[in-house]
């Protein structure tokens, strides 16, 4: 499939995306405030890069950064095969961990990451996602979710099609 930028329809423009992320940052701050002054935020590369950076800038706690690089998509669908390209080195033991992902679709990627993060015996682990697709019964509890969307193929704000369109400052979709 060949995608042209002009075929991409905007769902949430830059202002709407940032406004929603700032609301999530406030929710997250309020949630942890009574529990801890420090959280460990784990960004799932590459897709969550912009969501992560905008989010942590507005969380009013000490935020320690970690990054994992995972891939599971090829083109516009999940391959179901998860590849870990790089992993964290920091200890998560007894920490408050916040996993920050771009989109939850089938839920496979995030379940996989969670399973491994739990082996570090964190004190608590939560999930923040920029978007969730309603199409699948993914069975994942998303503690902080930006947007609930239909089963569209999304692009922009970190989301790609074969590595393209990540740097669009809005969330858009293409018709199937």
Q: How is residue 7 annotated by DSSP? A: G
Is 80 within 8 Å of 111 (Cβ atoms)?
no
**Cβ 46 to Mg ion, closest distance in Å?**
7
Specify whether 37 is catalytic: no
* Nearer to Mg ion (CB atom), residue 56 or residue 103: 103
DSSP assignment of 119-144, as one string? TT--SEEEEEEEEEESSS------SE
Calculate the CA 95 to chain-centre distance: 20
Residue 128 contacts ligand IMP per CB under 6 A? no
Q: Which of 27, 65, 78, 147 binds ligand IMP (CB under 6 A)?
A: 78
Q: Which of 32, 59, 67, 109 binds ligand IMP (CB under 6 A)?
A: 109
The single residue listed with the structure tokens 């499939």 is 1
The answer for residues whose C-beta is within 8 angstroms of residue 42's C-beta and 6 or more apart is 66, 67, 68, 88, 97, 98, 99, 100, 113, 117
Residue 127 contacts ligand IMP per CB under 6 A? no
Contact code string over 46-85 relative to Mg ion, x by CB under 5 A: -x--------------------------------------
Catalytic residue positions, numbered: 105
Interface with ligand IMP (CB under 6 A): 47, 72-73, 78, 101-109, 153-154, 159-160
């Amino acid at each position: 499939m060949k995608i042209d930028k002009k075929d991409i329809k905007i769902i949430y423009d830059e202002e709407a995306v940032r406004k929603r992320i700032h609301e999530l940052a406030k929710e997250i701050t309020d949630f942890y405030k009574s529990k801890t002054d420090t959280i460990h935020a784990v960004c799932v590369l590459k897709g969550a890069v912009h969501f992560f950076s905008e989010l942590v800038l507005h969380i009013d706690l000490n935020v320690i950064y970690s990054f994992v690089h995972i891939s599971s998509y090829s083109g516009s669908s999940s391959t179901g095969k998860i590849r870990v390209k790089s992993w964290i080195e920091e200890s998560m033991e007894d920490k408050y961990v916040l996993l920050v992902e771009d989109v939850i679709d089938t839920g496979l990627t995030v379940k996989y990451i969670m399973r491994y993060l739990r082996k570090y015996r964190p004190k608590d682990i939560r999930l923040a996602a920029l978007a969730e697709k309603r199409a699948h019964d993914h069975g994942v509890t998303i503690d902080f979710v930006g947007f609930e969307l239909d089963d569209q193929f999304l692009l922009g704000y970190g989301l790609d099609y074969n590595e393209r369109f990540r740097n669009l400052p809005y969330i858009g979709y293409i018709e199937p």
